[in-house]
Amino acid sequence: GAVVSQHPSWVICKSGTSVKIECRSLDFQATTMFWYRQFPKQSLMLMATSNEGSKATYEQGVEKDKFLINHASLTLSTLTVTSAHPEDSSFYICSARGEGGPGETQYFGPGTRLLVL
Amino acid sequence: AQTVTQSQPEMSVQEAETVTLSCTYDTSESDYYLFWYKQPPSRQMILVIRQEAYKQQNATENRFSVNFQKAAKSFSLKISDSQLGDAAMYFCAYGGNTGKLIFGQGTTLQVKP
């Protein structure tokens, strides 16, 4: 159990375009989802936390107008990178947590590699 | 603010041997959770083991076990009978009242045949 999917796994886009990444919890209801960014051989950096039906909470330094997060249902959250630029190229990972509260384990999606040309 | 430190950027172990990965953390919270996640070359984050801070007994999952020292704020991971498939980057993570995970810098484990 506890499977999280992400789509797409790879995306290459031109500078200035927008890219949407989907994160789905396949076998449980995810009241909270998290979005991370990871550079090669580095740790995960939390970008934002989203709760179903409410606005996302962004970490300090993350542009909320650039990284739009929507958590419209208990199984789906989306991250849209608006007007992407080469510096947005990275590995984006989502995670999902069930209804057990802060102590509940986070389960991670397989990640999305974004390359902006 | 809570912090997590993994002081070993790289470790290596011979196949079938045992290796211990170190992790220390700092917090003023009394109730929290600690995790070890594995990230193989595919970059999929996989939960290895979880420990509740209120439990004195060390968590164990097959060949993986932890040494949780609450007073010392230490949470090391022991991998017994290492296998080639254990080669990965391992992250120690702290989960507190906010529900967010705070990750350490990671330790890259190499398993030699």
Establish if B107 touches chain A: CB-CB under 8 angstroms: no
Tens digit of each residue's pLDDT (9 = 90 or more) over A91-108: 999 999 987 777 788 999
Establish if B91 touches chain A: CB-CB under 8 angstroms: yes
Q: A103 - beta bridge partners? A: none
CA distance A5 to chain B (A): 11
C-alpha dist (Å) from residue B41 to A19, A68, B93: 25, 28, 19
- The per-residue pLDDT for B103 is 96
Tens digit of each residue's pLDDT (9 = 90 or more) over B47-100: 999 999 999 899 999 999 999 999 999 999 999 999 999 999 999 999 998 889
Establish if A92 touches chain B: CB-CB under 8 angstroms: no
Q: Alpha-carbon Rg of chain B, whole angstroms?
A: 13
Tens digit of each residue's pLDDT (9 = 90 or more) over B12-42: 999 999 999 999 999 999 899 999 999 999 9
Question: Which residues in chain A touch residue B45, judged by CB atoms under 8 angstroms apart?
Answer: 44, 93, 95, 108
Tens digit of each residue's pLDDT (9 = 90 or more) over A73-89: 889 999 999 999 999 99
Question: Which residues in chain A touch residue B95, judged by CB atoms under 8 angstroms apart?
Answer: 102-103, 106
Please, which pLDDT band fits residue A1 given cuts at 50, 70 and 90?
low
The rounded distance, in Å, linking the Cα atoms of A32 and A95 is 9
The rounded distance, in Å, linking the Cα atoms of A92 and A108 is 11
Partner-chain contact B45 A93, CB within 8 Å: yes
Structure tokens at A109: 């999606």
Question: Which residues in chain B touch residue A110, judged by CB atoms under 8 angstroms apart?
Answer: 42-44
Structure tokens at A89: 């190229």
Establish if B33 touches chain A: CB-CB under 8 angstroms: yes
Establish if A52 touches chain B: CB-CB under 8 angstroms: no
Residue linked to tokens 């045992």: B18
Please, which pLDDT band fits residue A111 given cuts at 50, 70 and 90?
very high
- The per-residue pLDDT for B98 is 86
Tens digit of each residue's pLDDT (9 = 90 or more) over A16-57: 999 999 999 998 888 899 999 999 889 999 999 998 888 899
